[in-house]
Amino acid sequence: MKRRNIWRGLFVFALFALVLTGCSGHESLNVLDPSGSAGEKQLDLIKLSFLIMLGVFAVVITIYIYVLIRFRKRKGVDVMPKQTHGNTKLEIIWTVIPIILLGILAVPTVTTTFDLTKIAQDEEVVNVKVTGYQYWWEFEYPELGIKTAQELHIPVGKKINFEIHGKDVLHSFWIPALGGKVDVIPGRVTNVILDANKPGDYQGKCAELCGAGHALMDFKVKAHSAEDFDKWVTQMQAPPAELTTDSEKRGEEVFQQNCLGCHAGINQSVPGPDLSKFGTRDTIAGMLKNNPENLKKWLHDPQAIKAGANMPKIDYLEEKDLDALVDYLESRK
Protein backbone atom coordinates (compact mmCIF):
# COMPACT_ATOMS: atom_id res chain seq x y z
CA MET A 1 0.00 0.00 0.00
CA LYS A 2 2.78 2.42 0.93
CA ARG A 3 4.73 1.62 -2.19
CA ARG A 4 1.65 2.41 -4.21
CA ASN A 5 1.28 5.91 -2.80
CA ILE A 6 4.93 6.69 -3.30
CA TRP A 7 4.63 5.66 -6.92
CA ARG A 8 1.60 7.78 -7.41
CA GLY A 9 3.26 10.75 -5.74
CA LEU A 10 6.34 10.41 -7.91
CA PHE A 11 4.21 10.09 -10.96
CA VAL A 12 2.20 13.23 -10.32
CA PHE A 13 5.33 15.10 -9.40
CA ALA A 14 7.04 14.04 -12.61
CA LEU A 15 4.12 15.25 -14.67
CA PHE A 16 4.00 18.60 -12.95
CA ALA A 17 7.72 18.97 -13.42
CA LEU A 18 7.24 18.19 -17.08
CA VAL A 19 4.54 20.78 -17.53
CA LEU A 20 6.42 23.44 -15.61
CA THR A 21 9.80 22.99 -17.25
CA GLY A 22 9.42 24.38 -20.69
CA CYS A 23 6.94 21.97 -22.19
CA SER A 24 4.31 24.62 -22.04
CA GLY A 25 3.38 24.85 -25.68
CA HIS A 26 4.30 27.42 -28.25
CA GLU A 27 2.42 30.69 -28.40
CA SER A 28 1.76 30.30 -32.12
CA LEU A 29 -0.59 27.40 -31.46
CA ASN A 30 -1.31 27.18 -27.78
CA VAL A 31 -4.92 26.80 -26.70
CA LEU A 32 -3.94 27.72 -23.15
CA ASP A 33 -2.40 31.04 -24.22
CA PRO A 34 -4.84 32.46 -26.74
CA SER A 35 -4.39 35.64 -28.74
CA GLY A 36 -8.01 36.16 -29.74
CA SER A 37 -11.30 36.88 -27.99
CA ALA A 38 -12.95 33.64 -29.08
CA GLY A 39 -9.99 31.66 -27.77
CA GLU A 40 -10.17 33.62 -24.51
CA LYS A 41 -13.85 32.88 -24.00
CA GLN A 42 -13.20 29.26 -24.73
CA LEU A 43 -10.27 29.19 -22.34
CA ASP A 44 -12.49 30.67 -19.63
CA LEU A 45 -14.87 27.77 -20.07
CA ILE A 46 -12.02 25.29 -20.13
CA LYS A 47 -10.80 26.73 -16.84
CA LEU A 48 -14.25 26.78 -15.26
CA SER A 49 -15.06 23.21 -16.25
CA PHE A 50 -11.61 22.07 -15.19
CA LEU A 51 -11.90 23.69 -11.77
CA ILE A 52 -15.33 22.19 -11.11
CA MET A 53 -14.08 18.80 -12.20
CA LEU A 54 -10.92 19.18 -10.15
CA GLY A 55 -13.10 19.78 -7.11
CA VAL A 56 -15.02 16.60 -7.78
CA PHE A 57 -11.78 14.73 -8.36
CA ALA A 58 -10.34 15.99 -5.09
CA VAL A 59 -13.37 14.74 -3.16
CA VAL A 60 -13.29 11.36 -4.87
CA ILE A 61 -9.57 10.88 -4.45
CA THR A 62 -9.65 11.89 -0.78
CA ILE A 63 -12.35 9.36 0.03
CA TYR A 64 -10.56 6.84 -2.18
CA ILE A 65 -7.19 7.11 -0.45
CA TYR A 66 -8.77 7.16 2.98
CA VAL A 67 -10.84 4.07 2.23
CA LEU A 68 -7.95 2.11 0.74
CA ILE A 69 -5.72 2.77 3.72
CA ARG A 70 -8.27 2.61 6.49
CA PHE A 71 -10.18 -0.47 5.35
CA ARG A 72 -7.45 -2.66 3.91
CA LYS A 73 -7.28 -6.17 5.24
CA ARG A 74 -4.74 -6.40 8.00
CA LYS A 75 -2.66 -9.50 8.58
CA GLY A 76 -4.10 -11.90 11.08
CA VAL A 77 -7.27 -9.91 11.50
CA ASP A 78 -10.44 -11.27 10.01
CA VAL A 79 -13.48 -9.12 10.45
CA MET A 80 -16.93 -9.55 9.04
CA PRO A 81 -17.98 -6.15 7.68
CA LYS A 82 -21.52 -4.99 8.23
CA GLN A 83 -23.49 -5.71 5.06
CA THR A 84 -25.00 -2.26 4.54
CA HIS A 85 -27.55 -1.81 1.80
CA GLY A 86 -27.00 1.88 1.18
CA ASN A 87 -27.71 5.23 2.71
CA THR A 88 -30.47 7.34 1.25
CA LYS A 89 -29.14 10.61 2.63
CA LEU A 90 -25.67 10.08 1.15
CA GLU A 91 -27.09 8.94 -2.15
CA ILE A 92 -29.24 12.04 -2.42
CA ILE A 93 -26.22 14.21 -1.63
CA TRP A 94 -24.11 12.75 -4.40
CA THR A 95 -26.95 13.02 -6.83
CA VAL A 96 -27.96 16.59 -6.05
CA ILE A 97 -24.52 18.18 -5.70
CA PRO A 98 -23.35 17.05 -9.16
CA ILE A 99 -26.61 18.34 -10.63
CA ILE A 100 -25.95 21.74 -9.06
CA LEU A 101 -22.34 21.73 -10.25
CA LEU A 102 -23.36 20.84 -13.77
CA GLY A 103 -26.00 23.57 -13.64
CA ILE A 104 -23.27 26.06 -12.73
CA LEU A 105 -21.33 24.88 -15.74
CA ALA A 106 -24.30 24.67 -18.08
CA VAL A 107 -25.33 28.33 -17.86
CA PRO A 108 -22.10 29.93 -19.12
CA THR A 109 -21.77 27.06 -21.57
CA VAL A 110 -25.04 27.89 -23.25
CA THR A 111 -24.52 31.66 -23.21
CA THR A 112 -21.03 31.37 -24.69
CA THR A 113 -22.24 28.89 -27.30
CA PHE A 114 -24.64 31.56 -28.53
CA ASP A 115 -22.20 34.46 -28.01
CA LEU A 116 -19.58 32.99 -30.29
CA THR A 117 -21.96 33.10 -33.24
CA LYS A 118 -22.79 36.79 -32.78
CA ILE A 119 -21.24 39.95 -34.16
CA ALA A 120 -22.29 43.31 -32.75
CA GLN A 121 -24.16 45.39 -35.32
CA ASP A 122 -21.80 48.35 -35.36
CA GLU A 123 -18.68 46.22 -35.54
CA GLU A 124 -16.45 46.36 -38.55
CA VAL A 125 -16.03 42.94 -40.02
CA VAL A 126 -13.60 41.45 -42.50
CA ASN A 127 -15.18 38.68 -44.55
CA VAL A 128 -12.97 35.85 -45.65
CA LYS A 129 -14.10 32.95 -47.77
CA VAL A 130 -12.06 29.87 -46.92
CA THR A 131 -11.97 26.78 -49.10
CA GLY A 132 -10.28 23.61 -47.93
CA TYR A 133 -8.70 21.34 -50.52
CA GLN A 134 -6.58 18.18 -50.19
CA TYR A 135 -4.17 19.45 -48.73
CA TRP A 136 -4.11 23.23 -48.87
CA TRP A 137 -6.23 26.24 -48.03
CA GLU A 138 -7.54 29.02 -50.24
CA PHE A 139 -8.43 32.41 -48.77
CA GLU A 140 -10.56 34.87 -50.62
CA TYR A 141 -11.45 38.39 -49.48
CA PRO A 142 -14.59 39.12 -51.53
CA GLU A 143 -14.79 42.84 -50.60
CA LEU A 144 -11.11 43.40 -51.27
CA GLY A 145 -10.88 41.35 -54.44
CA ILE A 146 -7.96 39.33 -53.11
CA LYS A 147 -7.41 35.63 -53.50
CA THR A 148 -4.47 33.85 -51.93
CA ALA A 149 -3.50 30.51 -50.51
CA GLN A 150 -1.85 29.03 -47.45
CA GLU A 151 -1.25 32.40 -45.80
CA LEU A 152 -4.10 34.16 -44.15
CA HIS A 153 -3.57 37.84 -43.38
CA ILE A 154 -5.85 39.52 -40.90
CA PRO A 155 -5.95 42.90 -39.16
CA VAL A 156 -5.65 42.94 -35.39
CA GLY A 157 -8.74 43.87 -33.42
CA LYS A 158 -11.32 43.32 -36.13
CA LYS A 159 -13.74 40.44 -36.17
CA ILE A 160 -13.04 38.11 -39.06
CA ASN A 161 -16.09 36.32 -40.38
CA PHE A 162 -14.95 33.12 -42.03
CA GLU A 163 -17.30 31.53 -44.50
CA ILE A 164 -16.01 28.02 -45.04
CA HIS A 165 -16.50 25.93 -48.15
CA GLY A 166 -15.39 22.44 -49.07
CA LYS A 167 -14.83 20.84 -52.42
CA ASP A 168 -13.46 17.34 -51.86
CA VAL A 169 -13.46 15.72 -48.43
CA LEU A 170 -14.07 16.87 -44.86
CA HIS A 171 -11.45 19.08 -43.31
CA SER A 172 -11.52 21.16 -40.18
CA PHE A 173 -10.37 24.75 -39.96
CA TRP A 174 -8.44 25.32 -36.76
CA ILE A 175 -6.26 28.16 -35.52
CA PRO A 176 -5.55 26.99 -31.96
CA ALA A 177 -4.16 30.29 -30.75
CA LEU A 178 -7.16 32.30 -31.97
CA GLY A 179 -10.06 30.00 -31.19
CA GLY A 180 -11.93 26.82 -31.84
CA LYS A 181 -12.38 24.96 -35.07
CA VAL A 182 -15.19 24.40 -37.49
CA ASP A 183 -15.52 21.62 -40.03
CA VAL A 184 -15.12 22.08 -43.75
CA ILE A 185 -18.01 20.22 -45.31
CA PRO A 186 -18.37 19.76 -49.05
CA GLY A 187 -21.82 20.88 -50.10
CA ARG A 188 -22.40 22.95 -46.99
CA VAL A 189 -21.24 26.33 -45.81
CA THR A 190 -20.05 26.68 -42.24
CA ASN A 191 -19.11 29.77 -40.30
CA VAL A 192 -16.76 30.81 -37.60
CA ILE A 193 -15.95 34.22 -36.18
CA LEU A 194 -12.45 34.82 -34.87
CA ASP A 195 -10.14 37.73 -34.19
CA ALA A 196 -6.57 38.37 -33.10
CA ASN A 197 -5.78 40.83 -30.35
CA LYS A 198 -2.07 41.16 -31.01
CA PRO A 199 0.05 41.09 -34.15
CA GLY A 200 2.02 37.96 -34.80
CA ASP A 201 2.27 34.72 -36.69
CA TYR A 202 -0.08 31.94 -35.74
CA GLN A 203 -0.42 28.42 -37.02
CA GLY A 204 -3.46 26.97 -38.69
CA LYS A 205 -4.21 23.27 -38.81
CA CYS A 206 -6.51 20.84 -40.49
CA ALA A 207 -8.11 18.86 -37.67
CA GLU A 208 -10.21 16.33 -39.57
CA LEU A 209 -8.59 13.29 -41.15
CA CYS A 210 -8.60 14.13 -44.85
CA GLY A 211 -6.20 11.65 -46.40
CA ALA A 212 -2.51 10.95 -46.73
CA GLY A 213 -1.38 14.55 -46.33
CA HIS A 214 -3.66 15.41 -43.41
CA ALA A 215 -0.78 15.99 -41.02
CA LEU A 216 0.79 18.50 -43.40
CA MET A 217 -2.28 20.56 -44.24
CA ASP A 218 -1.01 23.52 -42.28
CA PHE A 219 -1.44 27.19 -42.97
CA LYS A 220 -0.13 30.42 -41.54
CA VAL A 221 -2.05 33.22 -39.99
CA LYS A 222 -0.41 36.63 -39.99
CA ALA A 223 -2.10 39.17 -37.83
CA HIS A 224 -1.09 42.73 -38.71
CA SER A 225 -1.75 46.12 -37.23
CA ALA A 226 -4.41 47.97 -39.20
CA GLU A 227 -1.71 49.93 -41.00
CA ASP A 228 0.32 46.92 -42.05
CA PHE A 229 -2.81 45.12 -43.11
CA ASP A 230 -3.74 48.00 -45.42
CA LYS A 231 -0.24 47.87 -46.83
CA TRP A 232 -0.62 44.18 -47.52
CA VAL A 233 -4.01 44.77 -49.15
CA THR A 234 -2.55 47.45 -51.41
CA GLN A 235 0.25 45.14 -52.42
CA MET A 236 -2.11 42.28 -53.16
CA GLN A 237 -4.45 44.49 -55.14
CA ALA A 238 -1.67 45.94 -57.27
CA PRO A 239 -1.13 44.31 -60.67
CA PRO A 240 1.62 41.66 -60.73
CA ALA A 241 5.17 42.91 -60.87
CA GLU A 242 6.68 43.57 -64.28
CA LEU A 243 8.94 40.92 -65.70
CA THR A 244 12.43 42.33 -65.54
CA THR A 245 14.93 39.67 -66.54
CA ASP A 246 15.04 37.27 -69.51
CA SER A 247 14.97 34.38 -67.14
CA GLU A 248 11.71 35.61 -65.67
CA LYS A 249 10.25 36.05 -69.12
CA ARG A 250 11.28 32.54 -70.08
CA GLY A 251 9.84 31.42 -66.76
CA GLU A 252 6.48 32.91 -67.63
CA GLU A 253 6.40 30.85 -70.82
CA VAL A 254 7.30 27.71 -68.91
CA PHE A 255 4.60 28.51 -66.40
CA GLN A 256 1.99 29.01 -69.07
CA GLN A 257 2.90 25.75 -70.76
CA ASN A 258 3.12 23.58 -67.67
CA CYS A 259 1.26 25.06 -64.76
CA LEU A 260 -1.70 27.06 -66.00
CA GLY A 261 -4.03 24.06 -66.04
CA CYS A 262 -4.24 24.13 -62.29
CA HIS A 263 -2.75 27.44 -61.24
CA ALA A 264 -4.71 29.79 -63.50
CA GLY A 265 -5.98 31.72 -60.54
CA ILE A 266 -9.52 31.77 -61.90
CA ASN A 267 -11.99 29.07 -62.83
CA GLN A 268 -9.55 26.20 -62.74
CA SER A 269 -10.87 22.79 -63.66
CA VAL A 270 -8.34 21.16 -61.40
CA PRO A 271 -7.91 23.52 -58.47
CA GLY A 272 -4.47 24.58 -57.41
CA PRO A 273 -3.38 27.52 -55.28
CA ASP A 274 -3.29 30.95 -56.85
CA LEU A 275 0.34 31.89 -57.47
CA SER A 276 0.02 35.44 -58.75
CA LYS A 277 1.60 36.80 -55.57
CA PHE A 278 3.71 33.78 -54.76
CA GLY A 279 6.83 35.79 -54.02
CA THR A 280 5.16 37.44 -51.03
CA ARG A 281 4.63 34.20 -49.17
CA ASP A 282 6.81 32.99 -46.33
CA THR A 283 6.40 29.35 -47.13
CA ILE A 284 6.01 26.94 -50.00
CA ALA A 285 3.00 24.66 -49.65
CA GLY A 286 2.66 25.98 -46.13
CA MET A 287 5.70 23.96 -45.09
CA LEU A 288 9.06 24.92 -46.56
CA LYS A 289 10.71 28.28 -46.20
CA ASN A 290 10.15 30.17 -49.43
CA ASN A 291 13.48 30.37 -51.25
CA PRO A 292 14.61 29.30 -54.75
CA GLU A 293 16.37 26.21 -53.47
CA ASN A 294 13.33 24.89 -51.60
CA LEU A 295 11.06 25.77 -54.49
CA LYS A 296 13.16 23.59 -56.78
CA LYS A 297 13.05 20.80 -54.26
CA TRP A 298 9.27 21.09 -54.08
CA LEU A 299 8.82 21.20 -57.85
CA HIS A 300 11.03 18.18 -58.28
CA ASP A 301 9.14 15.88 -55.94
CA PRO A 302 6.17 17.44 -54.09
CA GLN A 303 5.08 14.11 -52.61
CA ALA A 304 8.40 13.67 -50.86
CA ILE A 305 7.62 16.84 -48.97
CA LYS A 306 3.86 16.63 -48.63
CA ALA A 307 2.53 13.09 -48.72
CA GLY A 308 -0.46 12.69 -50.99
CA ALA A 309 -0.16 16.13 -52.60
CA ASN A 310 -2.01 16.41 -55.91
CA MET A 311 0.73 18.52 -57.47
CA PRO A 312 2.52 16.48 -60.18
CA LYS A 313 6.27 16.06 -60.16
CA ILE A 314 7.90 18.71 -62.36
CA ASP A 315 11.05 16.66 -62.95
CA TYR A 316 11.00 16.72 -66.73
CA LEU A 317 12.07 20.33 -67.32
CA GLU A 318 15.52 21.26 -68.46
CA GLU A 319 17.61 22.75 -65.69
CA LYS A 320 17.55 26.15 -67.39
CA ASP A 321 13.78 26.19 -67.73
CA LEU A 322 13.36 25.07 -64.14
CA ASP A 323 15.57 27.93 -62.95
CA ALA A 324 13.58 30.31 -65.11
CA LEU A 325 10.32 29.03 -63.64
CA VAL A 326 11.67 29.48 -60.14
CA ASP A 327 12.82 33.00 -60.99
CA TYR A 328 9.43 33.82 -62.43
CA LEU A 329 7.52 32.50 -59.43
CA GLU A 330 9.75 34.22 -56.91
CA SER A 331 9.26 37.52 -58.79
CA ARG A 332 5.46 37.36 -58.39
CA LYS A 333 4.94 40.01 -55.76
Give the x/- contact pattern for other proteins in 56-95, rule: CB under 8 A: xx--xx-xx--xx--xxx----xxxxxxxxxx--xx--xx
Whose Cβ is closer to other proteins: residue 77's or residue 318's? 77
Instruction: Please tell me the distance from the alpha carbon of residue 333 to that of residue 331, in angstroms, as a whole number.
Output: 6
Query: For the sheet containing 151-155, what is the strand order?
Result: 151-155, 219-224, 200-206, 171-175, 179-184
Judged by CB under 8 A, which of 154, 210, 223, 311 binds other proteins? 210
- Within a 13 Å sphere around the CA of 210, how many CA atoms are in the beta-carbon half? 31
- We find the least distance from the C-beta atom of residue 243 to other proteins, in angstroms, to be 36
Residues 153-182 that bind other proteins (CB under 8 A): 168-170, 172, 174, 176-177, 179-182
5 interacts with other proteins by CB under 8 A: no
Judged by CB under 8 A, which of 187, 227, 242, 315 binds other proteins? 187
CB contact set of 150 (below 8 Å; sequence gap of 6+): 136, 137, 219, 220, 273, 281, 283, 285, 286
Residues 112-131 that bind other proteins (CB under 8 A): 112-114, 116-117
312 interacts with other proteins by CB under 8 A: no
Judged by CB under 8 A, which of 17, 19, 226, 241 binds other proteins? 19
- We find the least distance from the C-beta atom of residue 297 to other proteins, in angstroms, to be 15
Judged by CB under 8 A, which of 9, 13, 18, 119 binds other proteins? 18
What secondary structure does DSSP assign to 177-246, as a single string? TTEEEEEE-BTS-EEEEE--SS-EEEEEEE-S--STTGGG--EEEEEE-HHHHHHHHHHHHSPPPPP-SH
